[in-house]
A = this chain, B = another copy of it.
Amino acid sequence: MNIVVIGAGNVATHLAEALKNAGENIVQVFSRTELSAKTLADKLRTAYTTDISNIERNSDVYIYALKDDALAEIIEQMPTKNGIHLHTAGSVPMSIFAQKKTHFGVLYPLQTFTKSKKVDFANIPLFIEASDDKTEKTLHDLAQKISKKVYCANSTERGRLHLAAVFACNFVNHLFAIADELLGDVPFSELLPLITETVAKAQTMPPKDAQTGPAHRGDTATMEKHLQLLASNKAWQTIYRNISDDIMRCNDEGEKQ
């Protein structure tokens, strides 16, 4: 299939490369930033444009991999209704296309992307949604070419998936950043065995059954010491208190059952 990629950020880059490797034909890249557009187009050995009016009008698929707040404007300006129009955002409903396009949908990869770091697309869960059965079939076939894990999810379900991903990925990474700073001169790598074990446990048992630590034990003396250590950073003290309180609340609920 002929595919136009709109956007040249992390998601656009990884998704376009996976599609090309699966034998799809990326006919054009659009980005308003020439360097980004050219960099991605060069990687894909294809054409690019920074002028939305120059977008190829007769492509089979248009993939909008853009920041959420840019989506509506670019969809509005897109000079064609032909083909299938897809966005890749977790928290934007499919209905954003409804007034503007005929066939449309969503292809949401549940993964975090960094341009410089290769990812194995085959194991990334892809959640799809489509405007009609024929589009869903096409989208499903396309998604299966790049991933073994393709699921249907409507916009409400996808919003919850994205929210869960924010907790399990974005927020987890920020807790790593806080831990890194708390370690001072000790390198963050010394925490990796602990982190690896935490994730290994999550692979073998429900996370709520794997909980350990002062809050889980109800060890108020240690929690008090920790809150004192955090006295100079009220934001971290608040995060410590809120998460500990929530762990203790889960314990209480577990005991009641």
* Interface residue from B69, B165, B206, B221 paired with A191 (Cβ < 8 Å): B165
Residue A83 lies at the interface, judged by CB distance under 8 Å to chain B: no
> How far, in angstroms, from A188 to B201 measured CA to CA in the complex?
12
Residue A211 lies at the interface, judged by CB distance under 8 Å to chain B: yes
The answer to whether A112 and B243 have CB atoms under 8 Å apart is no
The answer to whether A194 and B110 have CB atoms under 8 Å apart is yes
A178 surroundings in chain B (CB, below 8 A): 164, 167, 246
Residue A203 lies at the interface, judged by CB distance under 8 Å to chain B: yes
With A168-B175, A183-B160 as known contacts, state yes or no: A112 contacts B217, CB within 8 Å: no
The answer to whether A245 and B235 have CB atoms under 8 Å apart is yes
The answer to whether A191 and B110 have CB atoms under 8 Å apart is yes
A7 to nearest B CB, angstroms?
14
Contact flags A181-193 to B (C-beta < 8 A → 1, else 0): 0111010111111
Contact flags A161-186 to B (C-beta < 8 A → 1, else 0): 11111111111111111111011101
Please report which residues of chain A, range 193-225, place their CB below 8 angstroms from some CB of chain B when the two chains form the complex.
193-204, 206-208, 210-217, 219, 221-222, 225
* Interface residue from B182, B190, B202, B203 paired with A149 (Cβ < 8 Å): B190
* Interface residue from B91, B123, B230, B243 paired with A226 (Cβ < 8 Å): B91
A107 to nearest B CB, angstroms?
16
* Interface residue from B201, B203, B214, B249 paired with A235 (Cβ < 8 Å): B249
Q: What are some 20 contacts across the A-B interface (CB < 8 A)?
A: A68-B222, A69-B221, A110-B193, A114-B201, A117-B201, A159-B225, A159-B229, A161-B186, A162-B222, A166-B240, A167-B182, A168-B195, A169-B195, A169-B197, A171-B213, A173-B210, A174-B250, A180-B208, A192-B203, A235-B249
